[in-house]
Each structure stands twice: as C-alpha cells, then as structure tokens.
Amino acid sequence: MPGVADFIGFAGLSVPRFEAHFTPCVEIGWRLAYNFWGFGYAAEAASAALEFGFQEIGLEEIVSFTTSKNRRSRRVMERLGMKRSEEDDFLHPLLEESHPLRAHVLYRITRPDP
C-alpha cells in the first residue's frame, strides 16, 4: 500500500500545444505512478477538475485524448461521462508517422445543464 508522503502523480486541465481538428480546446488529463493505478484516484481527481472547469471557469466543453491502446484511461473517460465519436479520432501530430502510439482517440464532455 502506498505511503502517506508518496507523490502519486497529477491531474488537471491544460491547453494542448498542437493544432488538430478539435483545437483550440481545454483538455483534462492525468498521469499517475504505476503503483497507484486501480485505486480510483484518476477518476476522483479528474472529476474534481471537470467540476472546476465547468463551474469555476465556465467552460462549455472539455476534451480528453489518449492513444487508442490505452484502455485504462479510456475507461476513466467513460466513467466521467465523456463520449467518443470515431470521427474525432486522430493521428497525434507531435509523434512521428511510424510511432506505435500515434493513433489517438478523443473523448468530449459538455457542461451539464444547471
């Protein structure tokens, strides 16, 4: 079990630094140390970031993306209520054409009605 003072990673909102069919946008993302996977921390932190983005900042939409092979992050996105449309899938422009993780999926969520 992780220790009290261990750094587990981060989650939050950011603006992607590349151009794609869905930019400009605000992205929600997370990176956790492997020892902390499977405890629900990513979903809990991301949920708080979504709430902040919609309620405090007033964003209308937040996106999230990952390599198509990253099933764990995709499940977190789905647990958050984010939806994927295959038409939004893209090849990450900052990765070389031959890179095995270049194929990405995009998930979106819009601000809930009050």
Per-residue model confidence (pLDDT) at position 3: 58
Binned at pLDDT 50, 70 and 90, residue 6 comes out as confident
User: Is 47 inside a domain boundary?
Assistant: yes
User: Is 4 inside a domain boundary?
Assistant: no
Domain holding 81, by residue range, is 9-110
Asked whether the predicted pLDDT for residue 14 surpasses 70, the reply is: yes
User: Is 64 inside a domain boundary?
Assistant: yes
Domain of 59: which CATH number?
Answer: 3.40.630.30
What is the average pLDDT score of the chain?
94
User: Is 90 inside a domain boundary?
Assistant: yes
Per-residue model confidence (pLDDT) at position 5: 67
User: Is 3 inside a domain boundary?
Assistant: no
User: Is 87 inside a domain boundary?
Assistant: yes
CA proximity to 15, closest of 61, 68, 78, 73? 61
Per-residue model confidence (pLDDT) at position 44: 96
Count of structural domains within the chain: 1
Question: Quick one: average pLDDT of 10-18?
Answer: 96
- Cα 36 to Cα 44: distance, rounded to the nearest angstrom: 13
User: Is 1 inside a domain boundary?
Assistant: no
Distances (CA, A) of 25 to 7, 12, 17, 21, 81: 28, 14, 10, 10, 18
| 22-60 pLDDT per residue, tens | 999 999 999 999 999 999 999 999 999 999 999 999 999
